[in-house]
């Protein structure tokens, strides 16, 4: 495992430090050489692509911290577009890019926050190298053989499964400290397009379909109290996604919740909990 990390981080280093080396075929060939013949052969393969590099096996860093990564030198926006995380949902391109980062983080089982950092770069380089997502879900208990949802409040990720198979992951916002999203094993009891918002007891109601409706254009109510108190919905505050900020409900990017709305059937099971709670129920979501 140490050798894998060392060769992976050398590839990351070359991607970030040498524009001429930003060739996905190079990464694939180097990694294939490593799998076939080991670390030293992989370093020799790297030298074929970049003869000026004087790297030896001993010089390859032992740990990720030994390399100073510069995310700005890897065009991560371009890669996020290629990988399908970027959508032109808004005229605000800064928001579109933030949403792409959120989706990328959720797909890697990272704690989502919308900030591109070295951890994101490491995950992206790993995906470009191996074509595999770095996160892993271990399911030892199922609420349903069909489609079901797990909402991880720690990582702020909603995962839709079919049996033990991951169908898709989405970033969400969850409740703030004063109005925590409750843990629980729930069921989707309602699905509404352009829901009215009642005001929550602290604001004036807003009719469905209006741009200032806090529920966005979709609502999926959960079997909590009356069925109208807790739900998965859209938003009118797009920069809130990836935060613990709501009054208890689960907020999603509007285009994401519209997609989920079409996928998930009414009566589907929804497990909501922290990392620790979900693990105690048999759902462990491992990430970087």
Confidence check: pLDDT of 284 > 70: yes
Long-range CB pairs of 65-71, under 8 A, 24+ apart, other chains included? 66/9, 67/9, 67/10, 67/12, 67/13, 69/12, 69/13, 69/16, 69/118, 69/121, 69/122, 70/16, 70/17, 71/16, 71/116, 71/117, 71/118, 71/120, 71/121
Confidence check: pLDDT of 23 > 50: yes
Radius of gyration of the chain from its Cα atoms, rounded to whole angstroms: 22
By annotation, the residues acting in catalysis are 233, 249
Percent of the chain scoring above 70 in pLDDT: 76
Confidence check: pLDDT of 20 > 60: no
pLDDT of residue 75: 85
Confidence check: pLDDT of 1 > 50: no
Helix ranges (DSSP H) in 55-212? 76-82, 93-107, 118-130
Specify which residues 158 forms β-bridges with. 151, 170
pLDDT of residue 3: 54
pLDDT tens digit string along 60-109? 444 444 344 444 567 899 999 999 999 999 999 999 999 999 999 999 99
- 215 neighbors 197 (Cβ within 8 angstroms): yes
Mean pLDDT of 14-25: 55
Q: Which of 36-40, 171-175, 225-229 has the lowest mean pLDDT?
A: 36-40
Average pLDDT over all residues of the chain:
85
Residues 6+ apart with CB under 8 A from 156: 106, 111, 112, 171, 172, 173, 174, 242, 243, 244
Structure tokens given for 195: 């829901």
Please report, for residues 64, 214, 240, 241, the alpha-carbon distance to residue 196 in angstroms, rounded to integers and kept in the order given: 50, 9, 20, 21
185: left (phi over 0), alpha (psi -120 to 50) or beta: beta
Q: Which residue has the tokens 């030298």?
A: 47
Helix 93-107 and helix 118-130: axis angle, to 10°? 70
* CATH number listed for the domain at residues 138-286: 2.40.440.10
Percent of the chain scoring above 90 in pLDDT: 63
Mean pLDDT of 249-268: 97
Mean pLDDT of 254-271: 97
Structural domain spans, the chain = 1-70, 138-286
- 7 neighbors 43 (Cβ within 8 angstroms): yes
Band (pLDDT 50/70/90 cuts) for residue 200 is confident
* Residues 83, 163: Cα–Cα separation, whole Å: 25
Mean pLDDT of 31-45: 69
Q: 186-205 burial string, b = 16+ CB within 10 Å, else e?
A: bbbbebbeebebeeeeeeee
pLDDT tens digit string along 206-231? 999 999 999 999 999 999 999 999 99
Confidence check: pLDDT of 267 > 90: yes
Q: What is the DSSP letter of 205?
A: -
- 61 neighbors 55 (Cβ within 8 angstroms): no
Structure tokens given for 145: 């053989």
Largest CA distance in the chain: 68
């Amino acid at each position: 495992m140490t050798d894998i990390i060392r060769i992976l981080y050398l590839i990351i280093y070359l991607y970030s430090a040498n524009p001429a080396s930003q060739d996905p075929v190079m990464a694939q060939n180097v990694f294939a050489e490593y799998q076939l013949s080991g670390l030293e052969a992989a370093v020799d393969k790297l030298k074929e692509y970049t003869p000026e590099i004087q790297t030896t096996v001993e010089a390859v860093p032992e740990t990720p911290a030994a390399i100073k990564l510069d995310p700005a030198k890897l065009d991560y926006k371009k890669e996020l577009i290629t990988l399908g995380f970027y959508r032109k949902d808004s005229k605000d391109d800064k928001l579109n890019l933030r949403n792409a980062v959120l989706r990328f983080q959720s797909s890697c089982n990272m704690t989502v926050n919308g900030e591109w950092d070295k951890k994101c770069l490491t995950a992206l380089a790993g995906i470009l190298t191996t074509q595999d997502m770095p996160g892993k879900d271990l399911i030892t208990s199922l609420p349903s053989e069909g489609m079901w949802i797990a909402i991880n409040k720690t990582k702020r990720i909603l995962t839709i499964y079919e049996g033990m198979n991951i169908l898709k992951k989405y970033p969400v916002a969850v409740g703030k400290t004063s109005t925590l999203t409750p843990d629980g094993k729930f069921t989707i009891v309602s699905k509404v397009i352009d829901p009215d918002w009642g005001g929550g007891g602290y604001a004036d109601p807003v009719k469905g379909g209006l741009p200032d409706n806090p529920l966005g254009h979709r609502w999926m109510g959960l079997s909590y109290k009356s069925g109208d108190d807790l739900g998965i919905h859209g938003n009118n505050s797009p920069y809130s996604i990836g935060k613990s900020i709501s009054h208890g409900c689960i907020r999603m990017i509007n285009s994401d919740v519209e997609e989920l709305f079409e996928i998930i059937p009414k009566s589907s099971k929804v497990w909501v909990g922290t990392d620790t709670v979900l693990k105690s129920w048999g759902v462990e979501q491992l990430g970087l």
